[in-house]
Every structure is written in structure tokens, then in C-alpha cells.
Amino acid sequence: MKVLICDATAQSALDTIAEAGIEVVNRPDITPEELMEVAAEYDVFVVRSRTKVREALINVATNLKAIVRGGVGLDNIDVEYARSKGVQVLNTPTASTDAVAELAVGYIFALARHIPQMTASMKAGEWAKKSFKGSEVGGKTLGLIGCGHIGQGVGHRARALEMNVIAYDPFVEPFYGIDLVTLDDLFARADFISLHVPHTDGTHNIVDAEALAKTKDGVYIINCGRGGTIDEDALYAAIESGKVGGAALDVYAEEPSKGHKLYTLPQVIGSPHVGAGTREAAVRVGAETAQQVINALK
């Protein structure tokens, strides 16, 4: 049995798989063209978000038994097609929960207190004490679009900060501490909106110009979920007009995102899709990935 590691994965995970008697080939920088050429040699692909596993690749991977995604989302994999070919599709749904939730909460503070902008001002040699009037998050309302593992993680942390937490998610049951509401109600009530949904036909641009028009003036938008769930042109226009107070983005409709026009706006802060990028999450993701590979081949 041979496993191809297509994206960066913790060495401890590779060691665990090898100790189970499975051959591991580590090619974390493999290109799509190279992957097509060697796909038939492997029983399992291990991927993160970089590698795309589409129909054409699945068709040439004639020995493929499983695709293991180290992380939560599966939008980079043609899941139903793979399963129709008898290929298992597995992920690690909880391993990166804490890392992503903490980044989202960090962005709540960064937006409310203008931390990145103040840092840039200080580095420019300024003392603009009166230019950065912030807000306290206690008593404010956080609206979660999507309330799975990560959304709930953000919500529970926000409640500890004495925020009111509401959520829109048609796929979860009510639970303590987070009120489920309609999407329109969420847009109308939230001071901060944080997205935690996969990118699907149903969630594509779920935050668009029409939705933004329904929000409070000065609302803050945070997306540590998936790109394509916010209409980025509409968000740009809403920030420029003052309707949206600011945005913090970790994910984008097209990645890698370089020189995005949103970053010409001083109210926008962000990161290059690093939500799960902590040392602790890497160890957890690696451990769960290794176990999923071993279980799949057993």
C-alpha cells in the first residue's frame, strides 16, 4: 500500500503511517501535472486545501482507495464523484477547530480596537492617540453564519467576552447559549458577522450587496471559513460607502490572493488562509490524518 502526501503534513503523521507498514511518499509541493502522471501508483492521497482532487484526477488514479483531507472543508475534492468510484473521502473535522475559532475571535478584537492600523501608525513614527477611537465587544451582538464545530467554538468564546451570540444554520438543532435566528434577522441585529460555512451552491455569495444593505451601519465582517461566500465587490463598495465598518478576511474567492483591491482600504485587515495554522493544530490534524489513512486501508 502506498500513500502520497500531496500537501504539507506533520512529520509525526508520516511516521505513524509508516510504522503501520504503509509506504509513504512525501511530495508536499507536487504540481497538478505531476500528480496526474503518478496518480495511478497510489492507494491514498493526503491533501490539505492546496491540492484539488477533481474528476479527471480520480479517473486516472485507478488504484485509489481513499482521499484524506487534513482539515474541515471538502470543497477542493469532488466528493460525490469519488464515492461513486468506490473511493472513501475522509477529513479531520475537529482538529483545527480551536485554531480557527481563536483567529476569528482575535479578529473581533483587532477590528473593534483598530489594532493593525494603530501598529502601522506607530511604526510610521506617529502618535495619533485621538485618531483611533475603538469599541468594546462586551454587550455587542455576534452573528454566526454557520454554527458547526468552529462556529460553536467562536460562539462560546464570544459569550465568555459577554457578547450576545446569534446564529443562522438550518442544519443544527438549538443548543444552550447561542440563539438560532433567520438570516435576515441576523443581518439586522449583528454588530459583528462571522462566517463559518463551506462554499457550496447554497452559500455562494451568501453575503452579497442585498444582504449588506440589511445590516447595521458600521457592522464588522469576519471570514475565516471559505472564500466565495462573500461577494467581494459588494463588500468593497459597502466599506467604501461606510455601510460596513471594516472586514477581516482569511479566505478569498480566488487563492492565492495577491494585490486584492480590498487591501487598498484601510478598514480591511487579513491573512493568507492561515486559520488552522498553529503548531498545536498541525499536530492534531496530523494525528487524525494518520489514523484516517490507517483505518481506510484496513
C-alpha cell recorded at residue 278 = 498553529
**In this predicted structure, what is the pLDDT of residue 257?**
92
Q: What pLDDT sits at residue 177?
A: 86
Q: Which are the catalytic amino acids?
A: 226, 255, 273
C-alpha grid cell, residue 207:
453575503
Per residue in 190-229, pLDDT (tens digit) is 999 999 999 999 999 999 999 999 999 999 999 999 999 9
Q: What is the dihedral of CA 169, 172, 174, 177, to 10 degrees?
A: -70
- Residue-wise pLDDT tens digits, 41-52: 999 999 998 999
| Residue 294: strand, helix, or coil | helix
Contacts with 158 (C-beta within 8 Å, 6 or more apart), sequence order: 105, 108, 137, 142, 165
| pLDDT of the residue at 162 | 98
Q: What pLDDT does 218 receive?
A: 98
pLDDT at 49: 85
Taking the chain (298 residues) in runs of 10, the rounded mean pLDDT of each run is: 94 95 96 97 94 97 96 88 96 92 98 98 96 96 96 97 98 89 98 96 97 98 97 98 98 93 97 94 93 92
User: In this predicted structure, what is the pLDDT of residue 298?
Assistant: 83
Q: Going by C-beta distance under 8 Å and a sequence separation of 6 or more, which residues neighbour residue 30? A: 4, 6, 38, 51
User: What structural domains and CATH numbers belong to the chain?
Assistant: 2-95+279-297 (3.40.50.720), 97-270 (3.40.50.720)
Report the distance separating Cα 86 and Cα 58, nearest Å: 11
Predicted local confidence at residue 175, as pLDDT: 81
Identify the helix (H) or strand (E) that includes residue 192: strand 192-195
- Supply the pLDDT for residue 94: 87
Q: Do 223 and 250 meet the contact criterion of CB atoms below 8 Å apart?
A: yes
Buried b (16+ CB within 10 A) or exposed e, 80-110: eebeeeebbbbbbbebbbbbbbbbbbbbbeb
Q: How far is CA 71 from the centre of its chain?
A: 9
pLDDT at 72: 81
Give pTM, 2 decimals: 0.89
